[in-house]
Amino acid sequence: MSGITKELANKIAHFARFPQTGVSLRQMVEFGQNPSQGTLLRAAQFLHDELPIRLAHRVVELDSLPDNLNQMPSVLRVKRMYIDSFNELINFPKVSERIREAVREATVQGSTQRKHLSGNSQNPSLVDHSAGSTGNGGRSMATHWIPSIQHRYHYEVKPTELPVEVSEYNRSFVKTLEKIKRRHDPVVTTLAQGVVEYKQLLKTKIIDHHVQHFLDRFYLSRIGIRMLIGQQIELNQPQQHKDYVGVICTHTKISDVVQEAIDNARFICGDYYMLMNTPEIELHCPSDLEFMYVPSHLHHMIFELLKNSLRAVVELYGDEADKYPPIKVVVAEGNEDITIKVSDEGGGIPRSAMEQVWTYMYTTAQTPMLDPEFDKSDFKAPLAGFGYGLPLSRLYARYFGGDLKLISMEGYGTDAYLHLSRLSDNEEPLA
C-alpha cells in the first residue's frame, strides 16, 4: 500500500480483518427515539468502532483492484479520502474512564428492564452481491469476532444527569463526522471518473463484470457509511423534525415525495429540451399511504426513473411534438412491499440491451470529463453522462431490502418496478 507509512498500512489491514456489523432501518428508528446524551455516546462509541472497519475494507479493495484500475489518478484520490478518514477516526480520542463509568452506571441493566432492538432479517440482495465478491471485505473472510448488534449498537441509558463532558464529547465527534461526510461528497463522481480513465487506458467502451461487482459493493458500502454518519449527525441536533428520527421519516407520505420528484423531473426535462409542453405524469397513489423510510432515498430513485422515462418519450416523439403520451406512476400497497410502477411509451429497450442498462457507464449521452477539483455530492453531480442513474437507484432500493426491476416492450415502452420493503427489518447488505 504505497503513499502511507507502514504503521498505518498495518492498521488498515488489521481493521479490514474484522467483520462489518449491519443495522436495519427499524433498529435505527427504535434506537433513535428520544435518545439521551448517554445513549448518543453509546452510538458514538459504536460508530467509532464500526466506521474504521468499513473504511478499511474499502481501502484494501481499492488497493487490490486488477489491471491497473487501482493506479488510475481518480481512484487514487478516492483511496486517499478513505485513508484520511480512517486515520482521523482511529486517532479520535477514546472516551475517558470517568465518562465511561458515569454512563455505565446509568445504563439500564438486566433483561427485564432493557428494551432490546428488533432482530434483523437477511437482506435478499446479499446473495446477489456475494457472488461477485473478490473476498476483500467479504464476511466469509473475516477473522475477528465482534459482538452482535444487540450488544454494540443499542444500550438504553437512563436520562439521568451525566457529566458535561458527555455532551462535549458527542459534539466533538459529530464535528469529525461532518468533516468526513464533506470529504466524501465527491466519491461517486470521482470514482466514475476513475472508471472513465480505466476505459481510456484499455481502449474499451464497456467494463467487465468484475469491475461491475466491485462498483456495486463499493457504492453499497458508501450508502451505508453515509447513512450511519447522517443518522448520528441528525440525532445530535437540538431540534428534531416532526415524524423524523434522524434522517428517517416514520410516516413518509409516498404521494408527497413522488409528487415532488415528478415536479422536479418535469422541470429539468422542460429546461433541458426547452419545451413548451413537457410530457404529463399521472400519479395514482392512495393519498394516505405512509411507511417508514428515508425520503431523500425515495425521491432520488423516483426522480431517476422519471428522468429516464421523460427523456425516452421526448426523444421518440421529438421536442417539437404538440402532445406526448403521459407517463404513469402507480403505487400499490402489499403486506411485505410497497411497489411503485413507472410506465412510459418511450419506445422501449431492445431485449439484447436489457442487461446493459444496469452496467455502470452504459449511457447514450456523452460522458463528461470532470475537473480534478470537482467536489459536488452524488445528488448534485452531472451523472446523466456517466450512466449511473439506474445502477445507483437499484442499490438504494436494495440497501433496505427492496429492489428495482425493468420490463420493456421494444417498439412501445418500459415499465420500471420499484419494490420497497414495508417490514424495515432487513440488515444492510454488507460485503
Please, which residues have CB within 8 angstroms of residue 335's CB and are 6 or more apart in sequence?
A: 422
Q: d(Cα 124, Cα 403) in Å, to the nearest integer?
A: 9
pLDDT exceeding 90 applies to what percent of the chain? Answer: 64
| Digit-coded pLDDT (tens) for 277-313 | 999 999 999 999 999 999 999 999 999 999 999 999 9
Catalytic residue, from 213, 300, 328, 419: name it: 300
| pTM of the complete model | 0.86
pLDDT at 155: 55
Which of 122-126, 173-177, 249-253, 336-340 has the weakest average pLDDT? 122-126
pLDDT higher than 60, residue 136: no
Which of 36-50, 191-205, 211-225, 417-431 has the weakest average pLDDT? 417-431
The 10 Å Cβ neighbour count of residue 66 is 11
Catalytic residue, from 199, 213, 297, 307: name it: 307
Tell me, yes or no, if 300 is annotated catalytic.
Answer: yes
Q: d(Cα 395, Cα 400) in Å, to the nearest integer?
A: 9
Helices (H), ranges, 243-402: 254-273, 295-317, 389-399
pLDDT higher than 60, residue 111: no
- Assign 162 a pLDDT band (cuts: 50, 70, 90): confident
Please, is 377 exposed, middle or buried when counting C-beta atoms within 10 Å of its C-beta (0-12, 13-18, 19+)? middle
Catalytic residue, from 154, 308, 345, 427: name it: 308
Among 372, 359, 368, CA closest to 78? 372
Q: d(Cα 166, Cα 102) in Å, to the nearest integer?
A: 9
Q: In the 3-class helix/strand/coil scheme, how is 23-74 assigned residue by residue?
A: CCHHHHHHHHCCCCHHHHHHHHHHHHHHHHHHHHHHHHHHHCCCCCHHHCHH
| Residue range 144-149: mean pLDDT, rounded | 44
| Residue range 29-58: mean pLDDT, rounded | 92
- Assign 207 a pLDDT band (cuts: 50, 70, 90): confident
Tell me, yes or no, if 209 is annotated catalytic.
Answer: no
Q: Which three cell numbers stand for residue 89?
A: 477516526
- Contact between residue 429 and residue 399 where contact means Cβ atoms under 8 Å apart: yes
Please, which residues have CB within 8 angstroms of residue 63's CB and are 6 or more apart in sequence?
A: 1, 70, 79
Terminal Cα distance for the chain, rounded: 21
- Contact between residue 295 and residue 341 where contact means Cβ atoms under 8 Å apart: no
| Residue range 63-88: mean pLDDT, rounded | 96
Q: d(Cα 123, Cα 399) in Å, to the nearest integer?
A: 8
pLDDT at 234: 95
Tell me, yes or no, if 251 is annotated catalytic.
Answer: no
Tell me, yes or no, if 376 is annotated catalytic.
Answer: no
